Amino acid sequence: MSAGRIVIAHLSDLHFGAFADLAQIEALETFIPTIGLDAAVISGDLSQRARHGEFQAAHAFVNRIKPHAPVVVVPGNHDIEWWKSPLDLLGERGKYRKYSRYFRELRPVVEIPGAVFAGALSSYGVAFGSLTWNIRDLAVKGHLPASETDRVTGIFAKAPPAVAKVLVFHHNVLPGALSRRMGLARWRSTHRRLLATRADVILCGHDHQEGAGQIGGALPVSTSGTHSARVRGKRPSVFNLVTIEPSAVHIQHFRWQPATREFQPSDTYSFARAGPPKVAVSVAGGDQGL
């Protein structure tokens, strides 16, 4: 942290396994230590099929970043073995057992000087809260129960006003620019609860296309891309550099350049740091929840 600034590398959807782009992974490993980070965040989908080898590769990647910055990791829909307990008929714990073996916390809370990171669990697989009328959403869509947003609200309420409050989960809360899809079921009510957490910024992924915007005209959102071959619209992969200042949040895209095998700084979006919670929601797109 320098003079009230917090700098975060926001990565997502690494998808270790058949689709991971190792050139990008290796470029991240060499580039991230040069940025001067306060923290790195990986907002889920570390694996493709929740296999041991995929988690082991992801774990090794995290360990290579850790000497340079604390790393906050949350699980994505690809990281859980929902088929071991569809609709939680056999309990919840089994489907997270493999992920937890490598990354321990499903809901990590990390404090550093000047910032607190709260991870929220949005990935439940085939679960009642994530069900919609669209069959394509099955085991893909996520949801954020009130228990999760209430827990995060409590964490952030204990932090002094000047401390940056960073909320991390997997599913995108803004519609993808190409997909036009929301990651979360029942997003309207979720947006209201997210605004009430008093977070300064939300970091999420899942859409496989980068994004930067706000919900409720007040709360900045960073959506990071993917470092796998499963990019949207054949566009280059992107990770986001998020800088939180006392009165602003900046989200800068770093785009992958296949020809030179490096990430180049690109578009930057700046938002006022979130003020008092507002109730109005100003996001286009239909609510796909039941």
Under the rule (CB under 5 A), what is the footprint of Fe ion?
13, 45, 76-77, 206
Beta carbons within 8 Å of 20's beta carbon, 6+ residues apart: 14, 48, 57, 227, 228, 229
- What is the Cα–Cα distance from 84 to 94, expressed in whole angstroms? 7
Provide the minimum distance between the beta carbon of 277 and Fe ion in the complex, in angstroms, as a whole number.
27
Q: Residue 76 or 108: which CB sits closer to Fe ion?
A: 76
CB-facing half-sphere around the CA of 289: CA atoms within 13 A: 17
Provide the minimum distance between the beta carbon of 45 and Fe ion in the complex, in angstroms, as a whole number.
3
Provide the minimum distance between the beta carbon of 248 and Fe ion in the complex, in angstroms, as a whole number.
29
Q: Give me 174's structure tokens.
A: 């803004």
- What is the Cα–Cα distance from 153 to 232, expressed in whole angstroms? 33
Q: Residue 75 or 108: which CB sits closer to Fe ion?
A: 75
Q: Residue 76 or 125: which CB sits closer to Fe ion?
A: 76
- What is the Cα–Cα distance from 269 to 7, expressed in whole angstroms? 15
Q: Residue 45 or 148: which CB sits closer to Fe ion?
A: 45
Residue 46 buriedness (CB in 10 A; 0-12 / 13-18 / 19+): buried
- What is the Cα–Cα distance from 61 to 40, expressed in whole angstroms? 12
DSSP notation for 266-279: EEEEEEEPP-S---
Q: Give me 30's structure tokens.
A: 């060499």
Q: Residue 142 or 220: which CB sits closer to Fe ion?
A: 142
Residue nearest to Fe ion (CB): 45
Q: Residue 175 or 216: which CB sits closer to Fe ion?
A: 175
SS3 289: strand
Asked if 120 and 155 count as a contact pair (C-beta separation under 8 A), the reply is no
